[in-house]
Amino acid sequence: MKKLKKIIYLTFIFSLLSYFSVFPVDTLQNNDSYIKGEELLEKAKVEYDNGNYDLGIEYSIEAKKYFEIAKKEYYLLKLVEEIDKYGELAEQKIIQAEKLGVKNSEDEYIIELYEKAKNSFDEAAITYEQAEASEDLDEKINLYQTTEKSIKSAAKDATILVAELIPNPERDEADQLLETAFEKRENIINEGIMAQDDDDDQKIMDALNKSIDYYDTQKYKQSKEYSGAAILYIDRLVEDIQNKDKADMKLAQAFEKRDGMLEKTLIQENDSDDEKIMLVLNQSIENFDNKKYTKSIEKSDSAMVLMDMIANKDKFKADAEKMLNEAKAAVTETLEKDESNENADLIKKASEIYDDAVIAYENEAYTDSIDLSIKVIDMLSVLSTTLPKFYRVRLIPDNRDCLWKIAEYNFIYQDKYQWQIIYDKNKNVLSDPENPHLIHPGDLLEIPSLKGEKRAKDYDPNKVYPDFKEITK
């Protein structure tokens, strides 16, 4: 029997030890209920040591009661601290809102938010007074919990209220965009352009919900981005519907054009050219069926361009052949002139593009071949381009020449900070060699080659010169 009582006592002791982890040290020293529980626990230990297990258990039970009271009192203390903190914040924000003119506002949202914050604050004050007056510990806790909930709500609403009242152009823009997006969404639903909760609507609402989330966390820039994305999507849906008749007409024109090519035997039904045409036309039909009318128009136009290319295949072939010959001649001529091999890399690249142009021609991709040939010619043309070697200072009203400005000209160096190079080359011919700022209209300046570019003759104001950076890159 004694062994059983000993086990019961030890069980109580272990359960009481858990209370020590609940309270900070300063609370242990100042809480009367905890001190009383500690005294009873010490008495229980003494009785246990003397073998009086019944009395030890009684003292342990009493100690537990006091520790439970102390635990509630500690929780009560923390509740009051939270209430005081949020109460002070709520009061400050409500006063600030009143100073910002909330009582004169005609905005329903602002008025509703102010009344909500005030009501929550008043409710908190009432339950706080009731809690203070109550002598029942459990009732106090319940009343303080209600107070905490009300005062936190008041603080939150009052904080939002002040933020709304303080001028914030970016927030106002975000707010306006959100409102516009929702209005546009409602309009296209009412007009039957889109059904509520269909795939398009879900995409729009995904963007709008993200916009709201960012708005609520005062990240107005991100909010505007998502509202703008929703508006853009809606506008495209509207544009698509508006383009329905045009898409229908374009499809009819494309098929009529195909029929004409079949009649003229420019193509045969289901031959390779016709298959290319029908591939694009079927894409147009698919987009039309899916109400993507703008895309349908684009595909119909592409099909008609393709038909023009097929119908004029011989002309494109002749043009491509001509451009290939010119590109080949440019490569050959440049190779012959480049005795020093200083432009080997550029010539190699141009030759590779020429080879691509030949392959495109052989594959009957004549427009691609033409574009590649033109690229070769343009690449090599810079090597034969010459910039002026001499520049005569000009008298330009309201914008006279100086070395900085001359260095910045596109046919000189396109960099004003290179003026020193011109000065060093010409200072001995200047009227005052020690003063680079003193140059006169009519002074003839020699322009040294800076990056190996070819320079010859005087600057001709009637001639169009290439950009220095373009021919030296």
The verdict on 193 and 74 lying in the same domain is no
Assigned token pair, 134: 């109550």
The answer to whether 118 and 131 have CB atoms below 8 angstroms apart is no
The answer to whether 444 and 392 have CB atoms below 8 angstroms apart is yes
The CA dihedral of 210, 214, 215, 221, to the nearest 10 degrees, is: -110
Give the pLDDT of residue 5.
47
pLDDT in tens, the chain (473 residues): 444 444 544 455 545 555 555 555 555 567 788 888 788 878 878 877 787 877 877 888 887 888 888 888 888 888 889 999 998 999 998 999 888 888 888 888 889 999 999 999 999 999 999 999 998 988 989 999 999 999 999 999 998 888 888 888 888 899 899 999 999 999 989 988 888 888 889 999 999 999 999 988 888 899 999 999 999 999 888 877 778 888 899 999 999 999 998 998 888 998 888 898 999 999 999 999 887 888 899 999 999 988 888 887 777 788 888 889 988 888 888 787 766 676 788 888 889 999 999 998 888 888 888 889 888 887 776 665 678 899 988 877 667 788 999 999 999 999 999 999 999 999 888 888 888 888 888 888 999 999 888 888 888 887 767 788 887 77
The CA dihedral of 218, 224, 225, 228, to the nearest 10 degrees, is: 160
The verdict on 88 and 229 lying in the same domain is no
Side-chain-side CA neighbours of residue 168 (13 Å): 18
The verdict on 319 and 302 lying in the same domain is no
Q: What 3-state DSSP class applies to 352? A: helix
Task: Please say which residue of 166, 191, 208 terminates a domain.
Answer: 166
Per the structure, how many domains does the chain have? 5
Assigned token pair, 204: 């729009």
The verdict on 342 and 249 lying in the same domain is no
What is the total residue count of the chain?
473
- What's the angle, vertex CA 278, arms to CA 277 and CA 284, rounded to 5? 100
In terms of residue numbers, what domain contains 12?
1-166
The verdict on 105 and 145 lying in the same domain is yes
Q: Is the dihedral of CA 33, 39, 40, 45 positive or negative?
A: positive
The verdict on 181 and 152 lying in the same domain is no
Task: Please say which residue of 166, 181, 212 terminates a domain.
Answer: 166
Q: What is the DSSP string of 162-195?
A: HHHHS--HHHHHHHHHHHHHHHHHHHHHHTTSS-
The verdict on 4 and 124 lying in the same domain is yes
The verdict on 117 and 141 lying in the same domain is yes
- What's the angle, vertex CA 224, arms to CA 223 and CA 225, rounded to 5? 90
**Nearest partner of 384 among 421, 358, 425, 350, judged by Cα:** 350
The answer to whether 421 and 450 have CB atoms below 8 angstroms apart is yes
The verdict on 19 and 151 lying in the same domain is yes
Give the pLDDT of residue 352.
92
Query: pLDDT digit string (tens) for 235-288?
Result: 888 877 778 888 899 999 999 999 998 998 888 998 888 898 999 999 999 999
The verdict on 271 and 231 lying in the same domain is no
The verdict on 138 and 188 lying in the same domain is no
The verdict on 127 and 1 lying in the same domain is yes
Task: Please say which residue of 117, 144, 166 terminates a domain.
Answer: 166
Residue 193 CB contacts under 8 Å (≥ 6 apart), including other chains: 237, 238, 241
**Percent of the chain that is helix, strand, coil (3-state, to 5):** 75, 0, 25
The answer to whether 117 and 90 have CB atoms below 8 angstroms apart is yes
Scan for tokens 């005030």, then name that residue: 118
The CA distance from 204 to 188, in Å, is 12
